[in-house]
Amino acid sequence: MATTIQLSEETQGKLFQLVARLQSETGRRVSYDEAIAFLMEQAQGTREARDRFGKLFGALRGEKGVWQDLRRLRASENKRHERLARSA
């Protein structure tokens, strides 16, 4: 059963770009329905990953300062790894 939905031009453009990318990756035609289903699966996976991550670090929930420190530490580690990779 087909349904009509209203999209802004910006959203329609982004959806079209996703369809084009998926077509390029799969080598076959991809419908808007498949692209939307892909986005929904991706969102569900992200939600599940956040839930699992939250269970690992549940004690830190709501501690914005700690999360900022962890992000800064991760960024500095990434820079360090990049420097090491370039020097190797």
pLDDT tens digits, one per residue of 5-63:
999 999 999 999 999 999 999 999 999 999 999 999 998 888 887 777 777 766 666 66
How high is the pLDDT of residue 66? 76
- Tell me the CA end-to-end span of the chain in Å, nearest whole number: 58
- Three-state DSSP at 13 gives helix
For 62-85, write each residue's pLDDT tens digit: 667 777 888 899 999 999 999 888
pTM: 0.56
